[in-house]
Amino acid sequence: MLEPLAAPLIDIGANLGHESFAADLDAVLDRARAAGIVHLLVTGTSPGSTATAVELATRLPALLSATSGVHPHEAQHCDAEAFAEITRLAAHASVKAVGETGLDFNRDFSPRSAQESVFEQHLELAARLGKPVFLHQRDAHARFLPILKNQRDALTAGGVVHCFTGERHELYDYLDLDMHIGITGWICDERRGAHMLEFLHDIPLNRLLLETDAPYLLPRTLRPRPKSRRNEPAMLTEVLRVAAQAMQQTPQTLASHATQNARRLFALP
């Protein structure tokens, strides 16, 4: 059973527009509140999902905000019309960041040239709007870093490397650019994320953010194991528990810092 925390939490990345939440979203949000989640960013990964995120955030502004972007998997479909819609939605008051955007060379669902072009467009949009960027990078650090570095000075609102899964040297590269680091249930996966536990403490407390990336990345350390493989925002408490243990902090201390960081970066109440 997940216990609510003394310190409130903000889930900076939840795909609440995903079809798996269609039937019980209200119950999911009730469980999130009960677990101590006080705010969530609903991730936009395409014009359609961004529109859904904005709709949800408009309906529940005290609990939800949105991001506006095109995931690198969808980059090949991001023509001028699609990006114009992302631009229009990004200006909405409920949208607190531009993205999800970046590079994913792990699956290459879109050509790498298309990913890079769309990534650059998102960075330029964030700079124009003065909003932070919500970034995705997987197996693409060698190309991702110089593109981000080239635009970093113009990104006055900063950003977060969401769902960080990389190596120590990659972490340092992003910290050198004064970026925030988003930590998910990846660190709860002994098959893929155990290496991160060795250097998680290298993340400064004022740069750490916590997220579920729900419905993906269900924490494998949950006991008892949920019957469903669907992750949801209430399970952010397990990410916090594992991160706090690795960083030799109390969960309350880590939650307090992560929440303050999220409010500051995304200009949340």
Identify the pLDDT of residue 48.
Answer: 97
- CA–CA separation, 186 and 193 (whole Å): 5
C-alpha–C-alpha distance, residues 43 and 50, integer Å:
7
Domain chopping of the chain, boundaries: 9-265
Confidence at residue 88, expressed as pLDDT on a 0 to 100 scale: 98
Per-residue pLDDT of the chain (269 residues; tens, 9 = 90+): 445 455 799 999 999 999 999 999 999 999 999 999 999 999 999 999 999 999 999 999 999 999 999 999 999 999 999 999 999 999 999 999 999 999 999 999 999 999 999 999 999 999 999 999 999 999 999 999 999 999 999 999 999 999 999 999 999 999 999 999 999 999 999 999 999 999 999 999 999 999 999 999 999 999 999 999 999 999 999 999 999 999 999 999 999 999 999 999 999 98
Q: Are 29 and 236 in contact (CB under 8 A)?
A: no
CA-to-CA distance for 73 and 123, rounded, in angstroms? 17
* Cβ-count burial 14-50 (b if 16+ within 10 Å, e if not): bbbbbebbeeebeebbebbeebbbbbbbbbbbbbebb
Percent of the chain with pLDDT over 70: 98
CB atoms within 10 A of CB 96: 25
State residue 25's pLDDT score: 98
Q: What is the DSSP string of 40-82?
A: EEEPP-SHHHHHHHHHHHHHSTTTEEEEE---GGGGGG--HHH
Give the integer Cα–Cα distance in Å for 215 and 229.
8
Three-state DSSP class for residue 164: coil
pLDDT at position 1: 42
pLDDT value, residue 5: 54
d(CA 264, CA 262): 5
Q: What architecture is the 9-265 domain classified under in CATH?
A: Alpha-Beta Barrel (3.20)
CA torsion, points 226, 228, 198, 36, in degrees to nearest 10? Answer: -70
Helix axis angle for 112-129 and 80-90, nearest 10°, is 30
Residue ranges of alpha helices (H) inside the chain are 25-34, 47-59, 80-90, 112-129, 141-151, 168-176, 236-247, 251-265
Nearest to 67 by CA among 47, 37, 83: 47
Report the pLDDT value the prediction gives residue 6, as an integer from 0 to 100: 54
